[in-house]
């Protein structure tokens, strides 16, 4: 397993850690301010959210590269199924293509996919996962022409109804198997998989299809399942064991810190958040 105690080369910031995935949350730094803060601290990678980059992906990507910060990817594709998909203003297929275009313009390699919940009018997850497979198969072909990889992110089962009918790494890999596209894989997020006793076996199955690894923690007394994630070391996830399993499967890419924390970390000075993040990366992860 890689030694992070004196090496930040694998550390990446997902800007959700500063509240940038939610309008009005956090300190409201611009993408350029965030990039500069990362560069000053030796954070080599960054992942943006679509709401931040708006119609400026190319310019923001160029700014990051000039500062020595690699754009790892973009969050996220539109919801594909369920109630949240039905509330989106754009057609799912069109918006999926736009997200791929934005990733490419940004200079990112990976577009993360959170698939959406159970399709309206259906029960269980089988039919919804079938629809997800159809959407992703179509998008993967287009993404390949844009040199963009798609990462299916299974979410914790608590989100099964609204945010993600895809709740296990097993099901995500089943979809990858059905589509069989070289640019389709999975993103493994500590928050969503820490509980899964089958995870190690599934990661071995995944092999080089692991496209991302997201760091955070699950608090013992989680007060909001969406917006109360813990900083690494503050919860009950065995982060080092999870990272060992991911790396034993062959993953050697960025470790992306992604913490949704409306009542804690998003209320703090972003400078302090970044400094604590670096310390925990070195000592806990």
Which pTM does this prediction carry?
0.97
DSSP letter for each residue of 175-203: HHHHH--TTEEEEEEHHHHTT-TTHHHHH
42 by DSSP, 3-state: which? coil
Residue identified by tokens 């998989």 is 193
Extents of the domains making up the chain: 11-283
11-283: CATH architecture: Alpha-Beta Barrel (3.20)
pLDDT in tens, the chain (285 residues): 999 999 999 999 999 999 999 988 888 999 999 999 999 999 999 999 999 998 999 999 999 999 999 999 999 999 999 999 999 999 999 999 999 999 999 999 999 999 999 999 999 999 999 999 999 999 999 999 999 999 999 999 999 999 999 999 999 999 999 999 999 999 999 999 999 999 999 999 999 999 999 999 999 999 999 999 999 999 999 999 999 999 999 999 999 999 999 999 999 999 999 999 999 999 999
Question: Could you check whether the bond before residue 76 is cis, i.e. omega within 30 degrees of 0?
Answer: yes
């Amino acid at each position: 397993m890689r030694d992070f105690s004196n090496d930040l080369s694998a550390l990446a910031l997902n800007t959700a850690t500063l509240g940038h995935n939610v309008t009005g949350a956090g300190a409201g730094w611009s993408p350029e301010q965030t990039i500069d803060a990362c560069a000053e601290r030796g954070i080599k990678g960054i992942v943006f959210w679509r709401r931040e980059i708006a119609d400026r992906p190319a310019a923001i990507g160029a700014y990051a590269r000039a500062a020595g910060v690699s754009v790892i990817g973009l969050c996220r594709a539109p919801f594909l199924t369920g109630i949240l998909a039905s509330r989106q203003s754009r057609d799912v297929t069109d918006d999926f293509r736009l997200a791929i275009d934005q990733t490419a313009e940004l200079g990112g390699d990976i577009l993360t996919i959170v698939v959406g919940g159970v399709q309206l009018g259906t029960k269980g997850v089988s039919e919804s996962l079938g629809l997800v497979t159809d959407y992703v198969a179509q998008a993967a072909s287009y993404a390949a022409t844009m040199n963009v990889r798609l990462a299916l992110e299974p979410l914790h089962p608590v989100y099964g109804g609204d945010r993600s009918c895809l709740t296990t790494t097993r099901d995500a890999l089943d979809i990858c198997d059905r589509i069989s596209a070289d640019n389709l894989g999975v993103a493994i997020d500590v928050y969503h998989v820490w509980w899964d006793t089958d995870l190690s076996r599934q990661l071995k199955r995944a092999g080089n299809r692991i496209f991302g690894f997201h760091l955070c923690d699950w608090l013992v007394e989680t007060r909001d399942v969406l917006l109360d994630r813990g900083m690494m070391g503050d919860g009950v996830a065995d982060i080092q064991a999870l990272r060992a399993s991911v790396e034993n499967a062959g993953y050697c890419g960025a470790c992306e810190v992604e913490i949704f924390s409306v009542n804690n970390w998003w209320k703090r000075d972003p400078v302090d958040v970044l400094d604590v993040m670096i310390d925990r990366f070195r000592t806990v992860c």
